[in-house]
Amino acid sequence: MNGASVGLVLAPGMVVDANELSVRHSLVTISGDDGGNTAETLHVRLAGRMKHGLLTIRWETPRR
């Protein structure tokens, strides 16, 4: 990713692993998971290089 903005909205139970993402002059924001004790349903792995970008990750609020 080079010079772009990306927003990921995940459902409760999804897990994000950004350990293999190399960032330079970028901002990565990962909000806290509010899924509580929800079982893991999907594991999202972010890998690669990001330069001059904005990545925002948040979890969708469960409907009640």
Mean pLDDT by 10 residues, the chain (64 residues): 89 89 90 73 92 91 68
Percent of the chain at pLDDT > 70 equals: 89
Q: What is the pLDDT of residues 15-29, one digit of tens each?
A: 899 999 999 999 898
3-state helix, strand, coil in the chain (%, to 5): 0, 60, 40
Residue type (1 letter), 49 = R
